[in-house]
Amino acid sequence: MKKVALITGGSRGIGYGCAEHLARAGFDLAINGVRAEADAAPALDALRQLGAEVVYCRGDISKHVDRGVVLAKVREKFGRLNVLVSNAGVAPKVRADLLETSEESWDHVVGANLKGGFFLVQAAAKWLVEQKRADPQNFSGSLIIVSSISATVVSTNRGEYCVSKAGLAMVAALFAARLGEYDLPVYEIRPGVIKTDMTSGVTEKYDKLIAGGLTVTKRWGTPDDVGRAAAALARGDFPYSTGSVIMVDGGLIMPRL
């Protein structure tokens, strides 16, 4: 029986990169997104072409009801879950100076990225524990939380985003500690500057920074880079590394002289 992975925000960007590599690794997939299924259909069909059985679970993970609907659909379709890749997130609608950050923007970003992420991870963790208790010898599962270098790298024009990602880093550590007794590893992936829809508006800025030495590897990161890391973790290639932070940033945060 193939393992099942739920990937939030999995129909485009980093989430799709993760989905593609998990499909190649032999997983069946539950793909979450907020778009209508018809809009996500090309991505879903491409994943099916890689041999995965795919179900689309539409829902806004910042909302309690939607999180329940998403997980219920995974249960209905597959009856099991082995891996959650908690990837979905939003950026501020407007990049505002830290002194001008609005409560509206804070609620939007922190609600989706941190609150939604925490409670989806919590719900998935309970399901993984349930399955592990039922079949301790054969069941294997893990949680993979995609955060950002913004967990530690300061951007004063999007403070709410940085806070949400710093919070997710602690979420990963907390659940790694809590699920240790069940041998259910939890990992955090911190992407750096990745070329996606979210970064399309700052392409010129980061082209110049990368050319000027921002990263050791002198190129943008890609969803494929993140997907490779997610697949290695999901396959169980790092069973003794729970709580680890996997940097996918081209050496951006490496101290250099």
- Beta strands across the sheet bearing 28-33: 54-58, 28-33, 4-8, 83-86, 142-146, 186-191, 245-248
Gap between the Cα atoms of 91 and 156, Å rounded: 14
Residue 187: active-site member: no
> Which of 161, 182, 187, 240 does the annotation list as catalytic?
161
Encode 33-88 in three state secondary structure.
ECCCHHHHHHHHHHHHHCCCCEEEEECCCCCHHHHHHHHHHHHHHCCCCCEEEECC
Backbone angles phi, psi at 247, to 5 degrees: -85, 130
DSSP letter (8 states) at residue 111: I
Active site residues: 161
